[in-house]
Amino acid sequence: MGAVSVERLDLSADRAHLNLSTADLVERVLARGEGKLASNGAVTVFTGDRTGRSPKDKFLEDTPAIHAKIDWGKVNQPITPEQFDIALRIATEHLNKQDEVFVFQGFAGADLEHRLGVRVVTQLAWHALFAETLFIKPGSASDAGDGSWNHDWTVINAGCHKLTKEEQAELGHNTPTYIAQSLEKKTVVILGTEYAGEMKKSIFYAMNFDMPEQGVFPMHCSCNVAKNDETSVALFFGLSGTGKTTLSADPDRALVGDDEHGWGPKGVFNFEGGCYAKVVGLTREKEPQIWDAIRFGSVLENTKIDPITRVPDYEDISVTENTRVTYPVDFIPGAKIPSVAGHPKHVVFLTADAFGVMPPISKLTPEQAMYYFINGYTSKLAGTEEGVKEPQPNFSQCFGSPFMPRRASEYAQMLAERIKQYGAQVWLLNTGWSGGPYGVGKRFSLPYTRAMVAAMLSGKLDKVPTREHPVFGLHMPTAVPEVPDSVLDPRNTWADKAAYDQQAAKLAKLFRENDAKFEMPDAVRQAGPKG
């Protein structure tokens, strides 16, 4: 059978529900038995056996037009155009057999000059609700345009269909899950996984390829701005679970977005219209803005509710630790709508160090900023990817390797140019372990981290003396308001100082082994760990 185009999808009006209202989508979710209504008004759903992304099952169509621009390897795994067309055919045939499908048409990108039109076609009503929540819906509060829509990218979500053995053989694959993306056809095909994050991250991947050609630096970061000073813009880079959403949800600052942004000629803009926050252990006391944002129109993933009271149990991780909620960004009180801001004054790299040896806060030189951005050291946290059960030390270039089709040096150069042009100060925050590695130490205190961020953004650390870490060369402030001095040097928090030195040396060696993979100026390489 020959290639199947996107146009072969049956989107006739009698079966394809286009941009239903939130209330209608929730009604469909409940009527179809796809989810339940929690006491706070959110829809609760379960994603089946896949409760996180499936990076080993994600593939990119390799064509002459894009081949030289891609950093091929474990992240960007190539498939032939023929394989992509097979996946497209399987997904299209599956959706065409359904009595009804749901279609969302909206945007990625709050800046009207740098936005992509996105169409999502899915079998599940809750996937359409997820898309409506995460992307920018024409005519919504997040849409600064005239409500018109242009079509760039299509996501064909046939995640309910698991590949048969015959289909696996046809594709040359060995699992029921297959995510295929074509940068040339601007199409994403999802098979065998109902985890909605695959839709979100596929469009982020698209933006990470398309935006540099428009002079926009795409970033895996959250962003906020001071409510009393629009020039006080801050970015928080980091992988899932490191604190991007938590630290950017600040009652004294307006949220621009919690995960994906572009830094263009006019400043920063959100790629999305919503937030996708982890809810494990969530309490109103710790994260009041996120707690209050979970209401009608939001989607709770893999979170159990009491069968009688329907109250969500955020402590229950029996399904996965990667329990999540999605909600429109304007559910956060005082959020910046439309989600655009000026050029950042502060750029923060978040690392969840499972070794427990990185300082909780460090001031970076421009060379250190490039070094730590290229290496992107952090930990994969439990549940964020299929098979990850506990924190694993991990280097994720540009703090977003799974979503970066281009080479790390290209993104790092864009960051360096903007830091220099706009005079942004770069910081490294360890939101991981203190007093010992994972299993011995504890996650660093969130109130202390919040205090460090507040001091940083207010300028209270501008003139505070620093001391250089003997291994990593990082410049550690000697005092931070409302934070004990004893925790600012991580070695002080370890009972066994010799064990700390051994772990620090071990991590420094891992950095050097990782940085050997990249081309970088000598001054940048020398800004890394010593020894």
201 catalytic per annotation: yes
Q: How far apart are CA 489 and CA 486, in angstroms?
A: 7
240 catalytic per annotation: yes
Given 28, 53, 418, 475, which residue is catalytic? Answer: 53
Given 122, 240, 362, 396, which residue is catalytic? Answer: 240
Q: How far apart are CA 396 and CA 244, in angstroms?
A: 15
Given 50, 201, 253, 380, which residue is catalytic? Answer: 201
56 catalytic per annotation: no
Q: Are 256 and 224 in contact (CB under 8 A)?
A: yes
User: 132: Cβ–Cβ under 8 A, 6 or more apart, which residues?
Assistant: 19, 22, 25, 104, 106
User: 355: Cβ–Cβ under 8 A, 6 or more apart, which residues?
Assistant: 393, 433, 437, 503, 504, 506, 507
| 203 phi, psi to nearest 5 deg | -75, -35
CA of 2: how far to CAs of 11, 53, 72, 87, 470, in Å? 21, 30, 27, 12, 62
122 catalytic per annotation: no
Given 324, 380, 469, 475, which residue is catalytic? Answer: 324
Q: Which two tokens stand for residue 251?
A: 């009652």
3-state secondary structure 187-203: EEEEECCCCCHHHHHHH
Full DSSP string of 286-304: T-HHHHHH-STT-EEES--
266 catalytic per annotation: no
Given 58, 115, 185, 244, which residue is catalytic? Answer: 244
Q: How far apart are CA 161 and CA 142, in angstroms?
A: 33
Given 115, 185, 186, 220, which residue is catalytic? Answer: 220
17 catalytic per annotation: no
Closest CA to 161 of 48, 5, 46: 48
Given 57, 259, 330, 353, which residue is catalytic? Answer: 259
Given 245, 246, 320, 493, which residue is catalytic? Answer: 245
Catalytic residues: 53, 201, 220, 240, 244-245, 259, 324
